[in-house]
Amino acid sequence: MKVDLYEKIWMWGVGVILTAFFVSLAYAAVAGSMHPPSHVELIDPTPQTLMTNPRMNPQGVSVDESGAIHVRVIGVTFAWLPGEVTVPANRPITFHLTSADVVHGYMIVRTNGNAMVIPGYVSQFTTTFVEPGEYLVACNEYCGVGHQNMATKLIVVPEAEWEASPS
């Protein structure tokens, strides 16, 4: 079978581009520790039971017996409950996220903290914030007319400051 020179050039060009995409994806996944959340945990999404479910309560920041820090947040149209949370820098923080209505996206801007928030499931990821500061938390899944207002702040304070008054 005869293949035109132009066709060959295009075929190789596409091959090179696909290889470049794949390599950059693999590099980002390995070097940036990016991976799809694999934690599958079911929960009853009925708002009345969700707000008092011990697995999502207390909402906000808590410390378990082993000293691990957890943040539990419920997404509702069009807010995060609770709103602002304060966590220490340089400590692993495990986020537990669920929705009381539709699919939302919990994205901590400028960090690798990003997960879909799905009713009926608890999304979980653990991350460490190196730099103290205020981080914007935005909803990155279109969820309705108020989607663009569904934002809050995550405040990261130096570890010593947080130990003094854990929130």
Tokens of 137: 């938390």
**Contact flag: residue 85 with ligand CUA (CB under 6 A):** no
Q: How far is the CB of 102 from ligand CUA (least distance, A)?
A: 7
- Helix, coil or strand: residue 27: helix
- Residue 140 has a CB neighbour count (10 Å cut-off) of 17
Answer for which of 93, 95, 104, 154 binds ligand CUA (CB under 6 A) is: 104
* Residue 97 CB, nearest approach to ligand CUA (Å): 11
Residue 101 is a binding residue for ligand CUA (CB under 6 A): no
For residue 8, how far is the Cα from the chain centroid? Answer: 43
Strand 69-76 and strand 60-63: pairing?
antiparallel
State the minimum distance, in angstroms, from the CB of residue 81 to ligand CUA. Answer: 12
In the bound state with ligand CUA, the residue whose beta carbon lies nearer, of 43 and 89, is 43
Among candidate residues 139, 3, 167, 10, the one with its CA nearest the CA of residue 78: 139
Residues that bind ligand CUA (CB under 6 A): 75, 78, 104, 139, 141-143, 147, 150
